[in-house]
Structure 1
Amino acid sequence: MDGGSGCVTKKYKLVLFGDAAVGKTSLVLQFVKGNFSNEPQEATIGVAFQSKIVCLQDSTVKFEIWDTAGSARYQGLAPMYYRGADAALVVFDITNEDSFTKAKTWICTLQTQVKKSIILALAGNKSDLKYHKSVDRQKIQEFVEENDLVFMETSAKSGNNVTNMFLSIGKFPKLVEKEKKALEDQATSSGHNTTSTTNTSTSAAVAADSLDNEGDDMSDGCCCCCVVL
């Protein structure tokens, strides 16, 4: 599918997991519609679906977002939703230690159950409540580094890092390929006859840090930005 101006549309099936009330639905609505409701969100039943098309520098990305219910009674349905996913975003509440424990369990489950090429991302939501933060930053960082995760602290309420979180997932495969090519070129220039093998699930911090200075807009050479409801 042509996104205009020579851009090629890539589809990404993105599935959200996490405990109930961590703000998964609010994150999706902030990203797709740019709004936040102070009214309590109704609990998701099973799964909710949204999609949005955003434009990067030389391609457009269509996010097909599956927002799964956090209630324990729906967790048996999870394999139905993450089957064939390109990326999974696990969300926890930075003011709730138990939700971080649950997020770690989700990451471990996904690592063993889904294809190796899936992008795994972690969002510490409710950063607007940072003065009530109960999850130790060091614990988070260690877990992120050990599991090669894309990670950001987000706020569905203020919008902080919400767009960056989703765009980092869309850009991550390109960053991996760029690093892989650089390593191959380096090996060639060094006179190696064989290409070195690298772990293409490179440091998540690279993907996240690359967006730190971009703000929460979607300018970045954007040729279109539309919401598909």
Structure 2
Amino acid sequence: MMENHPGVNKTNGQAQGKICQFKLILLGQSGVGKSSSVLRYINGLFHEYSEATFRPRFVTHTVCLDDTTVKFVIWDTSGQSRFSCWGGIQSRGAHAAIVVYDITDYDTFSKVREWVNMLESRTSPNIVIALAGNKSDLANKRMVEFDKAQAYAEENGFLFMETSAKTAMNVNEIFLAIAKKLLENGSGGAGQQPFDGYIDLTETRDRSEERGGCCNMCKQQ
């Protein structure tokens, strides 16, 4: 959903820019690092041993791009097969998705196409999809070649990066690339229907705002 705020901000007297809110979902097999990637992106933290996610959960985060504030509602879904139906349910209304695989486990990469097929059958054809090869810090145990994953992403028009939730490599970058692509595509414009579970973030403070607001993210760009 996109909101235009041409008026004046009462607190500082400056004109407000656009606010865009997007639903972003993470999909992939269990253990690939979906929750760890979200934790790294939101809080800048990494836990070496984390519990598996058994049910979908969401967090919010704000990014500043020029005169636009992008507010992500990020859904982290379980990758375990008996809970995989949640991925299909929660993908409805998604504007973007990150399909995560583990570069040290070829099976997680071979399942990427299944996740993509599910997305394509349940979401808008305009959805922005990014492919993330996580655990790049374990390159010495690599089972999925960079070129192979990159070729697959290019063939399908996906964004692609290898990431590491442990070292933070390309974690912020992949979310930023998605935000830019959504804005380039004009996603979230007037007339687009709110997604299931829509939250009006203009009336709630997300975690990034509690830590000093959007400006902190802008300084990192």
Q: Report the TM range for the smaller structure's normalisation.
A: 0.7 to 0.9
Name 1:146's counterpart in structure 2.
155
* 1:84 positional shift: 0.6
Name 2:66's counterpart in structure 1.
57
Is the 2:78–2:86 contact (alpha carbons within 8 Å) kept by the matching residues of 1? Answer: no
- Give me the whole-angstrom Cα distance separating, in 1, the residues matched to 2:214 and 2:39: 22
* 1:130 positional shift: 1.2
Is the 2:62–2:214 contact (alpha carbons within 8 Å) kept by the matching residues of 1? Answer: no
* 1:43 positional shift: 0.9
- Give me the whole-angstrom Cα distance separating, in 2, the residues matched to 1:41 and 1:7: 38
> 5+ residue gaps in structure 2?
187-212
Alignment of 1:1-229 (within 5 A): 6-38=16-48, 40-176=49-185, 224-225=215-216
Closer/same/farther in 2, CA of residues 57 and 223 from structure 1, 3 Å limit: farther
* 1:138 positional shift: 2.7
Is the 1:27–1:156 contact (alpha carbons within 8 Å) kept by the matching residues of 2? Answer: yes
> 5+ residue gaps in structure 1?
178-221
- Give me the whole-angstrom Cα distance separating, in 2, the residues matched to 1:140 and 1:34: 26
Name 2:208's counterpart in structure 1.
none
Q: TM-score, normalised by structure 1?
A: 0.74
- Give me the whole-angstrom Cα distance separating, in 1, the residues matched to 2:29 and 2:19: 32
Closer/same/farther in 2, CA of residues 43 and 8 from structure 1, 3 Å limit: same
Closer/same/farther in 2, CA of residues 146 and 26 from structure 1, 3 Å limit: same
Q: Deviations over 1:164-213 (max 9, x none)?
A: 00011100033446xxxxxxxxxxxxxxxxxxxxxxxxxxxxxxxxxxxx
Is the 1:9–1:59 contact (alpha carbons within 8 Å) kept by the matching residues of 2? Answer: yes
Closer/same/farther in 2, CA of residues 109 and 138 from structure 1, 3 Å limit: same
Is the 1:54–1:225 contact (alpha carbons within 8 Å) kept by the matching residues of 2? Answer: no
The SS at the match of 1:224 is helix
* 1:126 positional shift: 0.6
Name 2:195's counterpart in structure 1.
none
Name 1:192's counterpart in structure 2.
none
- Give me the whole-angstrom Cα distance separating, in 1, the residues matched to 2:157 and 2:120: 11
Deviating 4+ runs (over 6 angstroms):
none
